[in-house]
Amino acid sequence: MENGGYTVEDVSGNSEYWYRDIDFLVTSPYSGLTKSFEVKWDSRINKTGNLFLEIASANSKGGKGWFKFCEADYIAYGDAASRKFYVIPLLELKERVAQLPQR
């Protein structure tokens, strides 16, 4: 993104963003708008074709997984094998998951 002229700020070490699960802020040189990104790595997506969405976790936010509390605008979902990223609008992903049949 930086090569494309965008300003990228790494906020992964800033505690203000930990509870919102945000790693980077990216500002467009064209519009001046800033969007937030959370980075996730997956070592099995290349084998399964599935994204892993952490719904529950014993180690965070009252048992909620990142999918339940992340406030980023986008998820940058990395395939560890191919080193490719899928950039997904989080709100759209949450809407699609909400439409799935409940078990």
DSSP the chain: -GGGT-EEEE-TT-HHHHTTT--EEEE-TTT--EEEEEEEEESSHHHH-------B-TTSGGGB-HHHH---SEEEEEETTTTEEEEEEHHHHHHHHHHSPP-
What pLDDT is stored for residue 8 in this prediction?
Answer: 97
pLDDT at 66 over 80: yes
Q: What is the pLDDT of residue 60?
A: 77
pTM above 0.95, yes or no: no
With cut-offs at 50, 70 and 90, classify the pLDDT of residue 59: confident
Q: Is the pLDDT of residue 61 over 70?
A: no
Q: What share of the chain in percent tops pLDDT 90?
A: 80
pLDDT at 31: 97
